[in-house]
Chains A and B, each alone.
Chain A
């Protein structure tokens, strides 16, 4: 592009070929990669619509739709006239999809001709059968090119059709997908509410929606979607646009609703769902602690799992009769006191030497300490005290007098976790808006200046470290009581990483963000060992985590529910521009405004 001409293609044939080629390659690459990872074959067993559609095919077929949509997206500049979307974009989508289909066809041919099973585990006849519908290469090839092309066009069409059509069809497809993928959860939920008959009608015996129920449910959802169309969107926008006290009030209402749901819902939920919620709670507790350390004070602590381990082992040693060296068989409540004490001590012991380091160095050293703690619990040297690889078993539940909290009753565990989470949320909320919280923020911004402004950075950072440590230790204590046994393998470094991902994806520095993050990652996708709502994706969890993290970093680095401060920080230019567009005076006395004596200009 040597010239700066901004000419738009004049006809549908005059395609922007580089764009098509790029997105086509991406589409094909993603499709082939997914196939070789083994996702479609493994998910093929799970039927979504009885006999007609399996999760395996859906996982492949969604790709051209999404990429077709992205490829046909047009950058709209405010104040510039934009080209009307139409046939041109449909052709773009079609070509991109067909390109993806062609890549799959090439894969089919390759599968047929060579055997690369040695490096590529999933290079199997199974994949070949999956891709050809057991109907031979020719049929498979044609089918993929045509379907992918059509689906790509469908994705692109979402830009062309009227908003209402797009919205309703998207709602129908996504709800049906949700209904079928989350069959287990829906079953569990309806049982609690006594609606078994409904699920019996919906789902086939062997799993998956029946064809009739698909159409009926689809129609019902469509009607509902048409009726409520635009309301949900209007509600969220009105929430977003609220400011100050009104916003606070709306947030408060939202918070109360969530809190009430958290208290009431578990009563109706079955074991599986309660177990899932309890896991979400455990990770939320960890994430809230890490949010203080990373989100507020800006200390990148990668060894956070160490405090989780300290909490777990302290509880195990103090409450379990099987503790190898010292078994006082305390009550959980008393043990908690020691959990706090040890968390503080270990927090100080780890924190004191590393806290003077900054940024990357701190991250690496804490990473080391996290592993050291786990290896100490695993070591022969300490195995007389902590049981080494055998861990400590037979940890009793929590006897509350009127009820006992133990792993076999996930509902009670959830309530216990909820209690701790409530405390952690309160603590985070109060500290954020206090002298200490402000000092943490200042340290995060510029440590040297914070020091020069009279903040004792070492002690403030240590306090952040210790508060985070105590929250993690509480989580560890509950884990011990829930699982009933503690092993060094329960505290792998992966947990530190996953909690960090939860905080980042959710929205660093924001309590609501952390809550959403732990629900989406731990609840929907599942924790390192805990299954989530999408149990089928268990084996591909880390892959999805990674993809999600990359996507978020590129597209929404401030997280799903960002704190106002952080989104401002990451979008400074937009913030200033918005203020300027609004006619706010804020940008107006920048530079040129000042030169002409801004006194006259400002006194309005």
Chain B
């Protein structure tokens, strides 16, 4: 059984089909890239899975149960975490707090524990902090040390992207949705993050769906590539297969013969 299964997904925004007839599945432990030209519906696809957009038609099953129309917070607690294309951190919270707050759905203490500083509360706070530091430590020295108490807005662009991934990791997901994780990074950083994405699967056991424009990254990490164009999947398969697919070349470059004619 696949981890995530999407059948005949259709999303319409006032007459415009952002996605139509999308069938997609991902097995546990896979890394799948979603590519396509701008406006192809990639981010809408992510929004639909994470519950931010309610699909017009179709079915989304996660671990065999439907998550269609569920609140984003419930989807996250079931084990799907995501990052955002246009980095959306809690800018005025510190780096540590950003990651701590993401563990909300895995923890339970409320007012009583906080007021009376119960044993359970203190234990949980300690665990939240430890886990936060563990997650941040995944990115080497970049997000730890004195940075823990810096506000997120003080981070460089690349570090903000890393913190977004850390925040998603902290929700302890099974499925991680990365929306253009290397956008705006230089080649060295990109290579570094590509390696980290591989480690996210091997060390943390995440299944990953990734939207990416950088074909080098796509080639290096993905098991499978799905190409969307105008809300319709036009090709699926390994990177080599997809990159030779005439439909894909056409979607990206246009039709060479007719264009000249």
Footprint of B on A, CB under 8 Å? 426-427, 430-431, 433-439, 441-442, 445-446, 448-457, 463, 467, 565-566, 568-569, 572, 575-576, 579, 586-587, 589-591, 593-595, 597, 599, 602-603
B88, B114, B147, B168 — which one has the most chain A CB atoms within 10 A of its CB?
A: B114
Question: 0/1 per residue, B101-130, Cβ < 8 Å to A?
Answer: 110111101110111010001001100100
Q: Does B194 contact A (CB under 8 A)?
A: no
Whether B52 contacts A448 by the Cβ 8 Å rule is: yes
B109, B151, B167 — which one has the most chain A CB atoms within 10 A of its CB?
A: B151
Q: Does B171 contact A (CB under 8 A)?
A: yes
- In the complex where A445-B93, A446-B88 touch, is A453 in contact with B101 (Cβ < 8 A)? yes
- How distant is the Cα of A79 from the Cα of B27 in the complex, in angstroms? 61
Which of B51, B88, B105, B151 meets A455, CB within 8 Å?
A: B105
Q: A435-B107, A569-B91 are in contact. List 8 more A-B contacts (CB 8 A).
A: A433-B114, A441-B92, A446-B88, A449-B89, A451-B73, A454-B104, A586-B146, A591-B157
- How distant is the Cα of A446 from the Cα of B102 in the complex, in angstroms? 13
A293 to chain B, nearest CB (A): 15
Whether A453 contacts B141 by the Cβ 8 Å rule is: no
Whether B189 contacts A455 by the Cβ 8 Å rule is: no
Which of B76-84, B230-238, B242-250 is found at the contact surface with chain A? B76-84
- How distant is the Cα of A451 from the Cα of B107 in the complex, in angstroms? 15
A457, A590, A591, A603 — which one has the most chain B CB atoms within 10 A of its CB?
A: A590
- Tell me what chain A mostly uses at the interface: helix, strand, loop, or mixed: helix
Q: Does B100 contact A (CB under 8 A)?
A: yes
B176 to chain A, nearest CB (A): 13
The 10 closest A-B pairs by CB, nearest first: A454-B105, A434-B114, A454-B76, A445-B90, A438-B101, A451-B72, A597-B188, A452-B72, A569-B92, A590-B156
Residues in B whose Cβ lies below 8 Å from that of A446: 88, 90
Whether B114 contacts A435 by the Cβ 8 Å rule is: yes
Whether A579 contacts B154 by the Cβ 8 Å rule is: yes
- In the complex where A594-B158, A595-B186 touch, is A565 in contact with B88 (Cβ < 8 A)? no
Q: Does B220 contact A (CB under 8 A)?
A: no
Q: Can you name 20 A-B residue pairings with CB atoms under 8 Å?
A: A431-B114, A434-B121, A435-B109, A435-B114, A445-B92, A446-B88, A452-B52, A452-B72, A452-B76, A452-B82, A453-B105, A453-B167, A453-B168, A454-B104, A455-B101, A463-B110, A565-B151, A569-B91, A586-B154, A591-B156
- How distant is the Cα of A602 from the Cα of B105 in the complex, in angstroms? 34
Whether B93 contacts A438 by the Cβ 8 Å rule is: yes
Which residue on A lies nearest to B192, using beta carbons? Answer: A599
A452, A569, A589, A590 — which one has the most chain B CB atoms within 10 A of its CB?
A: A452
- In the complex where A467-B111, A587-B154, A602-B141 touch, is A455 in contact with B93 (Cβ < 8 A)? no
Whether B100 contacts A449 by the Cβ 8 Å rule is: no
B68 to chain A, nearest CB (A): 17
Residues in A whose Cβ lies below 8 Å from that of B81: 453-454
- How distant is the Cα of A245 from the Cα of B242 in the complex, in angstroms? 57
- How distant is the Cα of A569 from the Cα of B93 in the complex, in angstroms? 10
Residues in A whose Cβ lies below 8 Å from that of B142: 602
Whether A456 contacts B91 by the Cβ 8 Å rule is: no
Whether B104 contacts A453 by the Cβ 8 Å rule is: yes
- How distant is the Cα of A455 from the Cα of B189 in the complex, in angstroms? 31
A443 to chain B, nearest CB (A): 9
Q: Does B223 contact A (CB under 8 A)?
A: no
Which residue on A lies nearest to B82, using beta carbons? Answer: A452
Whether B91 contacts A445 by the Cβ 8 Å rule is: yes
B235 to chain A, nearest CB (A): 29
Residues in A whose Cβ lies below 8 Å from that of B52: 448, 452
Which residue on A lies nearest to B76, using beta carbons? Answer: A454
Q: Does B20 contact A (CB under 8 A)?
A: no
Q: Does B229 contact A (CB under 8 A)?
A: no
Whether B90 contacts A452 by the Cβ 8 Å rule is: no
Which residue on B lies nearest to A437, using beta carbons? Answer: B114
Whether B90 contacts A441 by the Cβ 8 Å rule is: yes
Question: 0/1 per residue, B134-155, Cβ < 8 Å to A?
Answer: 0000000110001100110110
Q: Does B133 contact A (CB under 8 A)?
A: no
- In the complex where A449-B84, A593-B156, A603-B141 touch, is A454 in contact with B114 (Cβ < 8 A)? no
B21 to chain A, nearest CB (A): 26
Whether A452 contacts B110 by the Cβ 8 Å rule is: no
B71, B77, B109, B168 — which one has the most chain A CB atoms within 10 A of its CB?
A: B71
A233 to chain B, nearest CB (A): 28
- In the complex where A454-B73, A463-B111, A568-B151 touch, is A441 in contact with B93 (Cβ < 8 A)? yes
Residues in B whose Cβ lies below 8 Å from that of A566: 92
- How distant is the Cα of A449 from the Cα of B73 in the complex, in angstroms? 10
Residues in B whose Cβ lies below 8 Å from that of A431: 111, 114-115
- In the complex where A436-B110, A572-B153 touch, is A594 in contact with B189 (Cβ < 8 A)? yes
Which of A433, A463, A576 meets B154, CB within 8 Å?
A: A576
Residues in B whose Cβ lies below 8 Å from that of A448: 52, 72, 88
Whether A594 contacts B73 by the Cβ 8 Å rule is: no
- How distant is the Cα of A438 from the Cα of B95 in the complex, in angstroms? 12
Whether A430 contacts B90 by the Cβ 8 Å rule is: no
Q: Does B50 contact A (CB under 8 A)?
A: yes
B154 to chain A, nearest CB (A): 5
A566, A586, A589, A597 — which one has the most chain B CB atoms within 10 A of its CB?
A: A586
- How distant is the Cα of A603 from the Cα of B188 in the complex, in angstroms? 16
- How distant is the Cα of A454 from the Cα of B103 in the complex, in angstroms? 8
Which of A426, A430, A438, A457 meets B97, CB within 8 Å?
A: A438
B259 to chain A, nearest CB (A): 36
- In the complex where A445-B91, A454-B102, A565-B151 touch, is A435 in contact with B97 (Cβ < 8 A)? no
- In the complex where A430-B114, A586-B147, A587-B154 touch, is A568 in contact with B141 (Cβ < 8 A)? no
Whether B102 contacts A453 by the Cβ 8 Å rule is: yes
Residues in A whose Cβ lies below 8 Å from that of B189: 594
Whether B147 contacts A449 by the Cβ 8 Å rule is: no
- How distant is the Cα of A177 from the Cα of B134 in the complex, in angstroms? 59
